[in-house]
Amino acid sequence: MANLKSRAWQRMLSGRRLDLLNPSPMDIEIEDIAHGLSFVARWNGQTFGKFPYSVAEHSVFVEKLFFKINPQISPKWRLAALLHDAPEYVIGDMISPVKSSVGRGYSDMDERLTAAIHQRFGLPSKTPDVIKKQIKRADTASAWLEAVQIAGFSEEEANTLFGKPILSDLRNLTLSPHEPTHVKTQFLKLFNELMEQI
């Protein structure tokens, strides 16, 4: 009988076996990322709508906000914004209270996977702090809008958790969760457009 304790890899639909503890860029495929993220629900699935709001849909939205905030930014950093939650295609999306309880193990795995994903697609292993802050700014704005529009939070609660929106027209944007395969297509389309520009 196989020793399951020694298994630290996941078989992907592409056929790759991704070692979660020591991920190799060679075992990372964008199709696997897009597929996985399209089926991972944000907010633990506690959102309104016919479909869950997926990490892939969130990632596309964050890239668009990031580009809106930084219209002169290089396509490679737009790609970094699109891939900011990419490790969640194999480790899932934990809400902040759970991440805090789990501790350093989750963030260590996230960092190793991020480095491998970045290497695979020609990005630096570590995103420069100045870029990381701008991606986080867009990510937090997206979280605020998600909280208010689809996760049942009041604006006051969202302001307490995420701060007031940084974009004056953020309230004019509307989130509407879509079917996972549609979102996967959107994610891959944006990825390919950005790769062509790099």
Domains of the chain (ranges, CATH numbers): 26-197 (1.10.3210.10)
User: Please, what is the average pLDDT of the chain?
Assistant: 93
Residue 104 has pLDDT above 60, yes or no: yes
**How large a percentage of the chain has pLDDT more than 70?**
96
Least confident stretch, 73-77, 84-88, 90-94, 151-155:
90-94
Least confident stretch, 26-40, 53-67, 96-110, 181-195:
96-110
Long-range contacts of 178-184 (CB under 8 A, 24+ apart): 178/51, 178/57, 179/51, 180/38, 180/39, 180/51, 180/54, 180/56, 181/38, 183/38, 183/54, 183/56, 183/57, 183/60, 184/34, 184/35, 184/37, 184/38, 184/56
Residue 118 has pLDDT above 50, yes or no: yes
Letter string b/e over residues 41-55, b meaning 16 or more CB atoms within 10 A of that residue's CB: bbbeeebeeeebbbb
Q: Which residue has the higher pLDDT, 90 or 5?
A: 90
Tokens found for residue 27: 């075992």
pLDDT of residue 4: 52
Region 159-187: mean pLDDT is 89
pLDDT of residue 96: 77
